[in-house]
Structure 1
Amino acid sequence: MQDSFIEQVLEPVTHDLGGFKVHRVLPARERTMVGPFLFFDQMGPAVLPTGEGIDVRPHPHINLSTVTYLFAGAIDHRDSLGTRQRIEPGAVNLMTAGRGIVHSERSPGDERAAGPALSGIQTWLALPDAVEETDPDFQHVPAADLPVIEQDGATARIIMGQLWGARAPTTTHAGTVYAAIDLAPGSALPVDDSADERAVYLHDGDATLEGMRLEPTRLYVLRPGVRATLRSATGARVMLCGGDAFATPRHVWWNFVSSRPDRIEQAKRDWRAGAFPLVPDDQLEAIPLPDRPLTVSYP
């Protein structure tokens, strides 16, 4: 049965960051992209000790967009455009790096004082060749502005693109679909089949796809065009992602993504030389260029 509708199952690489774990399913040795998605991280869930928090120090990106979506907790985003934006559950932070941007992500002070919760998904999306070097940009979409679909006990919040007849206001640079699905006990939801490439990810709970039990933290890539239905007996949270297939491959090294390996080499030189713009009020703790990054593509 599995071969009829599942193309691949990608296992996570798990990193323990001290206090919380990150499960990464993209990029994988078997596959770098699903539609424009080329990085998929589950953060937590975790509750950090009182007074502590996450501190992702300033670091650069090129030729991609980052999407942060939380289920619990809050993160303060700052970037070299001068943006300062708190993100909370149900909202979207979309940062487009284009020719180059620097940002940091930290737990807000009020969250640290209470012992911050952290649970969410962070993804990177490749930019099409023609706009890889676009101007950097940032967009925050509040939870109230995202369309919500309710059907047969399932609730789907559309984060990006058009799904089940509704469209999110979040900017897309390529054909993109992205949704957070809450399955109530006994509920079911057909997976929208409009995108070239699609994958489902079980964040937590109990869910099946066409009768096949899903395992948490795995990414299930569907065969193009197949119709399949998600079901849950006891409740679950599932992510759906995908979009148009890219005609040209993407190379990933650390926080740099590009269709051109030489562009990544230039970004390395620029970061070493201090040629990227700075984040106002957060300039003193930049992450140095690593010798061996945790995030790489596998050409």
Structure 2
Amino acid sequence: MSDDPSAVMITLEPKPRDLGGGFSVRRALPAIEKRMIGPFIFWDEFGPSHFGVGEGLDVRPHPHINLATVTYLFEGEIFHRDTLGSAQVIQPGDVNWMNAGRGIAHSERTRAELRAMGSPIAGIQSWVALPEAHEESEAFFKHHRVAELPVIEEGGKIVRVIAGSLYGKNSPVKTYSEMFYADAQLDAGASLPLGAEHEERGLYLTGGEIEVAGDQFERGRLLVFRPGDAITIKALTPARFMLLGGANLGPRHIWWNFVSSRKERIEQAKEDWKAGRFGTVPGDDKEFIPLPDH
């Protein structure tokens, strides 16, 4: 099938979430209508917004298990630290890929130099669930500069492959399941095909307006495509969107910052965090986010 009127199976509108400290996000996954798209189990968009002088992001150390966190910025900067000793600035177009595996804790903050002058912030943070065989894998952190990522540029479109494989290009990011994740920018009138080879596919529109199978969509929508349909995305205005998806990994439990195929594993992670067994974050060991009581 091609451009079937029902090609867009579900349209999700993100829900606002206040993360504290005056910082809010728009959360599209997990949703009642769709818990995951391929391995993607969590999807937050933040910004575009601007921190005033003396302000910044302050996500205190907190734990994760059985997933990979993926930070991708459009504007601004975030400073990442974790229990492995990683200390890394992420800037627009770079990829911060943190494989939590059996357990890791990290913090995300704004550096003092940027706080002194104020700074913009905008981007996506997503969580990628790990296949059952790799849930308890070794934790690792890997930073990839924007120049390392493959880019397709032609006919009024630029597509950067963030992770996995798409359009014959392979990202250097290490993943454990068949997936794709890309940042696409289209001029008005340009079109981009999306084949049916991946089991589950989605599109998150961060700017502009697009048309898919005769239906129009505006920014801040997560589209879930019907399996087996070849899709064509047409930009009605200059548009930017993220393409995401891959193999269905089966159901996952999610509680706070923990993801697992086994409910009892999440209970163990709760106890481990309360007991301090995740370790401390070098350079950011004075505070942490306590385990929620619900």
Q: TM-score, length-normalised on structure 2?
A: 0.95
Deviations 1:198-234, CA, capped at 9 Å, x for gaps:
0001111122223311132221100112111111232
Whether the 8 Å CA contact 2:81–2:87 is kept in 1: the answer is yes
Aligned to 2:111: 108
Partner of residue 286, structure 1 = 288
Q: 1:20 Cα shift?
A: 4.5
Query: Which deviates more from structure 2 when the two are superposed, residues 4-13 or residues 166-175?
Result: 4-13
The one of 224, 230, 233 equivalent to 1:221 is 224
Change beyond 3 A, Cα 1:2–1:46: farther
| Contact 1:19/1:48 (8 A) holds in 2 | no
RMSD, aligned CA: 1.4
Q: Is the partner of 2:6 in helix, strand or coil?
A: helix
Are 1:136 and 2:136 an aligned pair?
no
- 1:152 deviates by 1.9
Task: Tell me which moved more, 21-30 or 116-125.
Answer: 21-30
Q: Secondary structure at the match of 2:274?
A: helix
CA contact (8 A) 2:72 2:95 kept: yes
Q: CA 1:210 to 1:3, structure 2 compared with 1: closer, same or farther past 3 Å?
A: closer
Equivalent residue number for residue 198 of structure 1: 201
Q: Which runs of 5+ in 1 are unaligned?
A: 293-299
Q: Which residue of 2 aligns with 1:253?
A: 255
Deviations 1:89-134 (A, max 9, x none): 0010000001000000001222222211110000000000011001
Amino acid at match of 1:33: M
After superposition, what is the alpha-carbon deviation per residue over 1:41-81, rounded to whole angstroms, capped at 9, x for unaligned?
A: 10111011112100000000000000000000000000000
How many residues get paired? 291
Check whether the contact 1:35–1:196 (CA below 8 A) recurs between aligned residues: yes
Which TM-score applies when normalising by structure 1? 0.94
Cα distance in 2 for residues equivalent to 1:279 and 1:211: 50
Q: Matched residues in 1 for 2:119 and 2:4: separation?
A: 40
Select the residue among 163, 172, 177 that pairs with 1:174. Answer: 177
1:208 maps to: 211
Describe the shift of the 1:235–1:54 C-alpha distance in structure 2 as closer, same or farther (beyond 3 A): same
Question: After superposition, where does 1:260-299 map in structure 2 within 5 Å?
Answer: 260-292=262-294
Between the aligned residues of both structures, percent identity stands at 52
- Which segments of 5 or more consecutive residues in structure 2 lack a partner in the other structure? none
Partner of 1:79: 82
SS at 1:169 equivalent? coil
Is residue 44–residue 126 contact of structure 2 (8 Å, CA) maintained in 1? Answer: yes
Q: Which residue of 2 aligns with 1:50?
A: 53
Contact 1:128 1:173 in 2 (8 A): yes
Partner SS, residue 153 of structure 2: strand
Residue 29 (structure 1) shift: 1.4
**Structure 1 residue 136: deviation in Å?**
0.4
